[in-house]
Amino acid sequence: MIGEWLIGILILLGAIVCVISVFGLIRLPDVYLRSHAATKSATMGVLLILFGGFLYFWAFENHISIKLLLGIVFVFITSPVAGHLNGRAAYRSGVSLWKGSVQDDLKTERKRMEQKDSGKSG
Amino acid sequence: MKTNDVILKSVTRVAAVIISTFSIYLFMNGHHNPGGGFIGGLSTASAIVLLFLSFGIEKVRENIRVDFKKLAAVGVLIALGTGMAGVVFGQPFLTQAFGYYDLPIFGNTELASALIFDTGVALAVIGTAVNIILSISEDR
């Protein structure tokens, strides 16, 4: 009985976190903030839903699904990396930051590296 | 400026192992569960393409020394060979046989000649998919 409630709460919580992630995608101003919202909370929502499904099959079908566990591990590993690569590709192709941003350490670092490179060649 | 791919490369090392294991699982389970030669081969090919994406084509070609055109041809030949085996034993073309055997580790196992046909399908799919990716990615 308490298991049903636990599974229901897990899956509902996962769905709610996914919806919050979508609100972040719509309302946040630039690529990096959107990527922040999409990567973290979508990963969390998917993990919660998958874990709820895993618990359901374990409790009611008496079947420990290794595929769901593997899916949890795989999404947990790969989804943040996809977010990282998206953000980096956006930065390299020159997407500007939101106008309210106050700090851009990567810009100064890249300028420093370019000066070092040109100093080496020149 | 030189790019730094440490995160992508180290995650690829883990993810390629997981994808390959899961594709072997899909391949072996094709007889009784969803799976089989086609998606087993496709997911293996996706693991290889992931390696190509993160490590570069030359480095992966040095380590996986397989000619994927020949791999596709060998797969088609294996599939054709299991079809011809039915003809050799006096049955119609593509007749499949199965039986139960006591293997040392696995216990009572069902072995079917459809698995060999699936091996041929998987090799043909791996060879074709990777070969398409390789030939559209080359600069001429």
Q: What percent of chain A has pLDDT over 70?
A: 98
Give the residue numbers in B contacting A (CB under 8 Å), as ranges.
1, 7-8, 11, 14-15, 18, 22
The number of C-alpha atoms within 13 Å of B51 and in the hemisphere containing its C-beta is: 22
Structure confidence at residue B2 (pLDDT): 65
Asked if A110 and B1 come within 8 Å (Cβ–Cβ), the reply is: yes
Asked if A78 and B15 come within 8 Å (Cβ–Cβ), the reply is: yes
Tokens matching residue B13:
């090392």
Structure confidence at residue B72 (pLDDT): 94
Residue A82 in contact with residue B11, Cβ under 8 Å? no
- Helix axis angle, B68-88 to B114-137, nearest 10°: 160
Question: pLDDT tens, B101-121?
Answer: 777 777 777 788 888 899 999
Structure confidence at residue B1 (pLDDT): 55
Nearest CB neighbour to A84, from listed B7, B15, B22: B7
Q: What percent of chain B has pLDDT over 70?
A: 97
Alpha carbons A69 and A55: distance in angstroms, whole number? 10
Residue bearing the bigger pLDDT, B97 or A93? A93
Question: pLDDT tens, A6-32?
Answer: 999 999 999 999 999 999 999 999 999
Asked if B22 and A73 come within 8 Å (Cβ–Cβ), the reply is: no
Residue B126 in contact with residue B71, Cβ under 8 Å? yes
- Chain A residues within an 8 Å CB radius of B11: 77-78, 81
Give the ipTM of the model, two decimals please: 0.78
Nearest CB neighbour to A85, from listed B8, B18, B22: B8
Residue B82 in contact with residue B116, Cβ under 8 Å? yes
The CA angle B103-B106-B107, to the nearest 5 degrees, is 65
Nearest CA in chain B to A89: B3
Mean pLDDT for all residues in chain A: 89
Q: Give me the amino acid identity at A119.
A: G
Closest approach of A81 to chain B, Cα-based (Å): 7
Say whether pLDDT at A70 is over 70. Answer: yes
Asked if B8 and A81 come within 8 Å (Cβ–Cβ), the reply is: yes
Q: Is the pTM of this model over 0.90?
A: no
Mean pLDDT for all residues in chain B: 88
Question: pLDDT tens, B122-139?
Answer: 999 999 999 999 999 877
Residue A73 CB neighbours (<10 A): 14
User: Positive or negative CA dihedral for A11, A17, A19, A25?
Assistant: negative
